[in-house]
Amino acid sequence: MFKLSRLVLIVPALLLGLNVASAKDIDKDELHGKVESIKKDWQAKDDTFEATLKKAYAYAIFPEVGKGGFIIGASHGAGEVYKTGEVYKKGKLIGHTKMTQTTVGAQVGGQTYAEVILFKNKKALDRFKKARFEGSAAATAIGGKKGAAAVSKYKDGTAIMVLPIKGAMVEAAGGGQKFAFEPVGE
């Protein structure tokens, strides 16, 4: 039993390995390049993606979230937060963010995906910025399908979309995502 418990703790760390380290230490210019690249990739797969971003009050985009698990799972990613609206046609960068997630339950595998959190209003964005926001692992839209972004549903002022990049994960686990926000210029 002791060996199994050690395995349960070690496997998620190994599966995340380099993804977690690179997300923590990522250069902001490199992060910005990855954000712009995933926006283009997402738009190419779903022509409603860009319009959906523009309709939101603000959004956070994580170009690479690494996730791994075996009974206990973990995820981590770094991203950028943008304010939208009439003044900011393409969105104005207002901060950087990091996401961590732990899950417990039936799960095995490892994957990388992109994630977008849409904020419907100022109240939802402020909750996120003050670290009073915990996202659930349940996305409201899976990217890569034509029109998927347009049907994303808001819950408590936020909607979460994911775009699978690589890997595979099977899970029936529970847990939540936690976020840290760093305003630009601070």
Residues 1 and 7: their CA atoms lie apart, in Å, by 10
Stretch 54-75: mean pLDDT: 93
148-163: pLDDT as tens digits: 888 888 888 999 898 9
Is a pLDDT exceeding 60 seen at residue 26?
A: yes
76-128: pLDDT as tens digits: 999 999 999 765 556 899 999 999 988 888 888 999 999 999 999 999 999 99
Stretch 50-55: mean pLDDT: 92
Is a pLDDT exceeding 60 seen at residue 74?
A: yes
Note the pLDDT of residue 80. Answer: 97
Region at 44 (left for phi over 0; alpha for psi -120 to 50; beta for the rest): alpha
Stretch 172-177: mean pLDDT: 79
Residues 10 and 23: their CA atoms lie apart, in Å, by 19
Note the pLDDT of residue 131. Answer: 80
Note the pLDDT of residue 152. Answer: 84
Higher pLDDT, 72 or 17: 72
pTM above 0.85, yes or no: no
Burial 43-81 (b: 16+ CB within 10 A, else e): beebebbbebbeebbbbbbbbbbbbbbbbbbbbbbbbbb
Is a pLDDT exceeding 70 seen at residue 145?
A: yes
Element (H, E) at 98: strand 92-119
Note the pLDDT of residue 186. Answer: 55
Residues 118 and 158: their CA atoms lie apart, in Å, by 5
Is a pLDDT exceeding 50 seen at residue 7?
A: no
The percentage of the chain sitting over the pLDDT mark of 90, rounded to a whole number, equals: 49
Note the pLDDT of residue 174. Answer: 79
Note the pLDDT of residue 173. Answer: 75
